[in-house]
A and B are shown apart, each in its own frame.
Chain A
Amino acid sequence: MTNFLLTPIILPFFTAILLMFAPKKVYYQRVVTLVSLILTTACAVYLIQTIHTEGIQVVTFGNWPEPFGITMVADMVAMLLVTTSVIVALFTVWYSFKSIGIEREKFFYYPGVLLMLTGVNGAFLTGDIFNLFVFFEVLLMASYLLSVLGGEKGQLRESIKYILVNVISSALFVITVAFLYSVVGTLNMADISVKIAELNQPGIITTIGVLFLIVFGLKAAIFPLFFWLPSAYAAPPVPVLALFGALLTKVGVYAITRTYTLFFVHDTGFTHTLLLVLSCLTILAGCIGALSTFNVKNIIIYNIVIAVGVILYGVAQMNEDGLMGAMFYIVHDMFIKAALFFLVGIMIVVTGTANLKKMGGIMRTYPTLAWTYLIAAFGLAGIPPLSGFIGKMLIVEGGLAAGNLWSSLWILLSSLIVLLSVIRIFIYGFWGEAKTLVPKESRTHYKQLLIPSMLLVLLTVAYGVGAEWITPYMQDAAEVLLHPSVYTDAVLKE
């Protein structure tokens, strides 16, 4: 039964292997992927409940004693993110049926999605720093496939850039792990935390902390390292973009959160101030980008950058409100980004262009799409009953409690810019003179895209309205993040 926490990794992995035997049978591919993802979701939800009642679940491969084997740790932080990722992947696969195109479906699209999910879930669940690197590579390899699949010219160019950036950041990751190993002599994350506490964090550990920030910052797109993201994400088709936007940067954010709450907690003056300043600048860069473009995809892509900044601002506070807010916000953001990408994907399908200036009056023909988009846009900006509110409120409270008045005000101000950027899509795209739409040869096609999008938006609304019901789980997560001893005691069983 203790091995049950491996199901979110094993199920997608074996399904991907099964799918590789019959790539041309599209119906088989679709059904098996969907069934496997539903099963994985059920396992993940069951695991959340187990952790809530029985505490952190730990399994070490091969029954080795704790610091020597590879440990998998399912605490509430990891499990909430795993569950969110699996649900987002489920909706993306459903949305893909009508949008990704039969040619891609016949060429290992679904195995690619499942292997990426394997890597993402593994990265969330692992308790070993080198194993984290390996799972990063698993998800990156699958994401290279998904980003280049189809082989359009734009995709080829952007994939070269994307792969190059990630090869460099992976090499940096290996270098950083080598430095860390030479200082503490262990790779188990709980053991590293204990060893750093014994050393009382000398200067070299702070240097390694900054190196980790650079490595994971390249994956998560924080301020000076986000340059590759906008064009690399704009090239692949919309379902792939939704998957990337919802999952990939969040793995980097999770890795920063984990290392900055578990390892580098004894001298927060430098590292966490750096994180705070960079998160504010990340928000600034994202805001400028989101207002600068008339491409609907790019507006939402720059909103990813803003959200990364907001989450890391919550992490940098290192108090209960800030960390709980960051957990609330990261889960919300994964759902809402996927939903928004689905919706602008439908806009691109019905208008035949991604340029906002060429759109107009979609509301006359597609009112349901318009209202769904408006709810999602309000949710993203954080209007009270919806999902973005509680996370941002707690983050700002945490910032004020830590005495960061001006940066907290900046977080609030950025919400207005986020709202402006997404409402611009609504005003230009849905209002105004009706412009030429792609002839609707089949309304059913449009409906099949709209149903998963609407359900995902409904889920975010439920997440916002039911915040009180979710709070105990978020408190568990904040507890683990705030007190590294909870994590290390569970793993090392002293």
Chain B
Amino acid sequence: MEVVMSFAIGFLFMAAVYLILSKSILRIIIGTGLLSHGAHLLILTMGGLGGEAPPVLADGVTNMADPLPQALILTAIVISFGVTAFFLVLAYRAYQELGTDNLDEIRRILADDD
């Protein structure tokens, strides 16, 4: 199971890198979204996919999943959510101010100003 997950995560990273290297800001933000999905799945996988029951104390349960990676992911998710929200608003503001979402165009606009 870990091997399958590794391939899926590797594919997410590949797609993320490809999108981040593109010129449109929106594609880049989608890329960072995929990158954080990959990272979160990686924490879950590296913690080991063993354990049958969810990590909640109940009678008669002995083989629980590792609770620590789940707590780490929850933290990482809200952080990346906050950063992505900020990044999206920044991209919107940049589009309003500069009139384009193409990074090459933005460079040209600012070079003309200097």
Contact = CB atoms under 8 A, between A and B. Distances in A.
B79 A137 contact: yes
B72 interface: yes
Contacts of A156: 90, 93-94, 97-98
A187 B90 CA distance: 34
Interface string B41-59: 0110111100000000000
A148 B86 CA distance: 11
Given A171-B35, A174-B39, A157 B106 contact: yes
A163 B87 CA distance: 7
Nearest to B16: A171
A178 B39 contact: yes
**Is chain A's binding surface mostly helix, strand, loop or mixed?**
helix
A141 B43 contact: no
B83 A141 contact: yes
| Best-surrounded residue of A137, A154, A171 (most CB of chain B within 10 A) | A171
A206 to B, nearest CB: 18
Contacts of A134: 75, 79
Nearest to B28: A164
A492 interface: no
A181 B69 contact: yes
Contact of B93 (A130, A144, A151, A164): A151
A157 B98 contact: yes
A175 interface: yes
B32 A167 contact: yes
A160 B94 contact: yes
Interface string A135-154: 00100110010001001011
22 contacts: A148-B90, A151-B97, A153-B109, A153-B113, A156-B94, A157-B94, A159-B90, A160-B25, A160-B87, A160-B90, A163-B86, A167-B80, A168-B32, A171-B35, A171-B39, A174-B43, A178-B45, A178-B46, A178-B69, A181-B72, A182-B46, A187-B68
Given A137-B79, A178-B46, A178-B69, 17 more contacts: A130-B72, A140-B83, A148-B90, A156-B94, A160-B25, A160-B90, A160-B91, A160-B94, A163-B90, A164-B20, A167-B36, A171-B39, A175-B39, A178-B43, A181-B47, A182-B46, A187-B68
